[in-house]
Amino acid sequence: EAGVAQSPRYKIIEKRQSVAFWCNPISGHATLYWYQQILGQGPKLLIQFQNNGVVDDSQLPKDRFSAERLKGVDSTLKIQPAKLEDSAVYLCASSRQGDNQPQHFGDGTRLSIL
């Protein structure tokens, strides 16, 4: 089966600009996650979707970050405006619905803020 697809792989922007990332999960996976991985740290969950509804966005900085999964398949994560501390790798993952289902990760988007 095809894995989780993310684009772009790399993005460089200046602070205060906007940026968007795209994720296509594995077919049939109802749950989709966005993680932020700052250099030298483990991934931190930003938002979790179940189909097109938000399950957990408690660690999403809502003043500048937004995410949507309108049709319950693809998802986009947006940052507006970007700050220097947003430099990180943004990972998308997906899983089947249900307890203890393994999460499958994409290769991530590396964001650099100048």
Partner 1 sequence: AQSVTQLDSQVPVFEEAPVELRCNYSSSVSVYLFWYVQYPNQGLQLLLKYLSGSTLVESINGFEAEFNKSQTSFHLRKPSVHISDTAEYFCAVSAQGAQKLVFGQGTRLTINP
Binding site for partner 1 (CB under 8 A): 4, 31, 33, 40-45, 48, 55-56, 91, 93, 95, 99-108, 110
CA distances (Å), origin 77, targets 7, 38, 50, 81, 96: 11, 16, 15, 13, 21
Q: 45 or 81: whose CB is closer to partner 1?
A: 45
CB of 37 to partner 1, least distance (A): 9
CB of 83 to partner 1, least distance (A): 22
Tokens for 4? 């989780």
Q: 27 or 41: whose CB is closer to partner 1?
A: 41
- Using CA of residue 45, residue 49, residue 55, residue 60, what is the dihedral sign? positive
